[in-house]
Amino acid sequence: MQTMSVPAKQRATYADVLAAPDGLVAELVDGKLVTSPRPGPFHATAASALGGELWSPFRRGRGGPGGWVILDEPELHLLGAEVLVPDVVGWRVERMPELPVTAWFETVPDWVCEVASPATAAFDRADKMPVYARAGVKFAWIVEPTVQTSETYALENQRWVLLETFRGDRGVRAAPFDAIELEVGVLWGQPAGMP
């Protein structure tokens, strides 16, 4: 009896991320290179608006407690080989008092937010969220601009627990940023203070 050996599939590396075509977001998850297009208008609006809502009160301490580093689309190197690019990320200042000199971040964030679009929703939920849990991220949000909802999660015993689902444009207090009420309507492109 003759046996055939099938060559093992080679794991993607950071060199594959660097070689990805311009205009694509390249990530490594479980040894696989995953590329996705740059965010579309609704996705970009939601991510930018969320970062803007958090910046003054949580980064600068204007109208809120301060004490956070909030960044859009940083490249995270987690668990040795995972390379992820969440839409918005936060670290407590005491855990990351200075920015790294590298082009990426190895300090595990305290909070991540993925803005789910039709092209990325399954990848965000089924592939990236488990990596964030294994890495020890404490809080995660998934924002879906096409249906105007956001879900907030907390990590408990290395598993995500859904805290709350918000929809529409009402003001919300969501962990870990529940010190102030956030205007969710701005995530969907509505000007602040507009009904």
For the chain (195 residues), the mean pLDDT of every run of 10, in chain order, is 51 95 94 92 92 93 94 97 97 96 97 94 97 98 94 97 92 95 87 52
Residue 69 CB partners (closer than 8 Å, separation 6+): 59, 90, 91, 92, 93, 96, 99
At residue 119, the pLDDT reads: 86
Alpha helices in 55-89 (DSSP H): none
Whole-number Cα distances in Å, 160 to 76, 136, 183, 189 = 19, 11, 24, 28
Query: What is the distance between the alpha carbons of residues 31 and 85, in angstroms, rounded to a whole number?
Result: 15
Two structure tokens written together for 118: 């039709």
Q: What is the pLDDT of residue 107?
A: 98
Contact, 45 vs 51, CB < 8 A? Answer: no
Question: Per 3-state DSSP, what percentage of the chain is helix, strand, and coil (rounded to 5)?
Answer: 25, 30, 45
User: How many Cα atoms within 13 Å fall on the side-chain side of residue 99?
Assistant: 10
Query: What confidence score (pLDDT) does residue 170 get?
Result: 82
